[in-house]
Structure 1
Amino acid sequence: MKFRRRAGNVAREEVFLNLTSLIDVIFVLLLFFVVTTTFSRPNQLKIELPEASSGSPPTQTELKQLEIAIGADGQYQVNAQSLLTNDLASLMSALQRESEGDNSLPLTISADAKTPHQAFITAMDAAGKLGFAHLRITTVEAKAAP
């Protein structure tokens, strides 16, 4: 079949698709997903603290606090930031960077109960070399023997 064109100068109608409502729906969905998303910290070390029968809970302070977390494998984290290497120099540089040179800040060392003794001593050595005097070691309260 062959169709003939109409003779003359006939203007074609432009097809216009209104996308405003579609864009509104997309933005509402985007906003919904952003608000309902939960953010987790997958790089946090899982630490099982050792038990102690004596001690006192930490006091709340307005000062910035530093925390060294040591995993069971000897992996270090300073204020929830994992270190690339587990040596004294990198631990000292991370502490220096996080404290911004202020060694009067309280420093908490949280080590897993199965942490190698050397990893804990390295953390204490780094804190001592940088002049930190307010050290805390975290434990959990021991259960009473039946």
Structure 2
Amino acid sequence: MKFRRKEPEEVTVNLTPLIDVVFLLLIFFMVSTTFTKETHLQIDLPEAGGEISEAQAKIIEVVIGIDGDYSVNGQSLINSQPDTLRRAIVDQASDNRKLPFIISADAETPHQAVVTAMDVAGKLGFASLSITTQQPAEQ
């Protein structure tokens, strides 16, 4: 007896449902994503090897000590709270936000103290923010 062999069927995978699911996931993630606008202070860092710039008539200089203590234009503050720093800066600058704002910090100063000073300056609207550096010692 001779049996007929079945011809093998071609095995295929239908990709249409998979593509539909991928598109639905893509649409879901696009719709559910939230976009946040982060604010950043734009600062111009001075070159360490540059020339010494001439001092302008009036500036706001915030000096930060090794312990994170603030001094605004030579006047020490009673504490290192951001609100105290803000009030001292407003007293010195009045309504002039175009004054150059200079931050001088010790090399061992906590990073948070410098960031706090930059944040206060940004919230008050100072546009010209600089951080002082010293020239490297020649070897």
Is residue 103 from structure 1 mapped to residue 97 from structure 2 by the alignment?
yes
Offset, 1:77: 0.4
Is residue 79 from structure 1 mapped to residue 73 from structure 2 by the alignment?
yes
**What are the within-5 Å matches in structure 2 for residues 89-128 of structure 1?**
89-128=83-122
Gaps of 5+ in 2: 1-46
| Residue aligned with 1:93, SS | helix
Percent of pairs identical after alignment?
Answer: 45
| Residue aligned with 2:109, SS | coil
TM-score, normalised on structure 2?
A: 0.62
> Is 2:66–2:108's contact at 8 Å kept on the other side of the alignment?
yes
User: How far apart are the structure 1 equivalents of 2:63 and 2:55?
Assistant: 19
Offset, 1:113: 0.6
> Is 2:48–2:133's contact at 8 Å kept on the other side of the alignment?
no
Is residue 58 from structure 1 mapped to residue 53 from structure 2 by the alignment?
yes
- Structure 1 residue ranges, 4+ long, deviating more than 3 angstroms after superposition: 52-56
User: How far apart are the structure 2 equivalents of 1:60 and 1:84?
Assistant: 27
- Select which of 131, 134, 137 maps to 1:140: 134
Q: What are the Cα deviations for residues 56-87 of structure 1, in whole angstroms up to 9, with x where unaligned?
A: 4223323x111100000000000111111201
Q: CA RMSD in A?
A: 1.5
Q: State the one-letter code of the partner of 2:121.
A: A
Offset, 1:53: 4.2
Pair 1:133–1:84, CA change in 2 (3 A): same
Gaps of 5+ in 1: 1-51
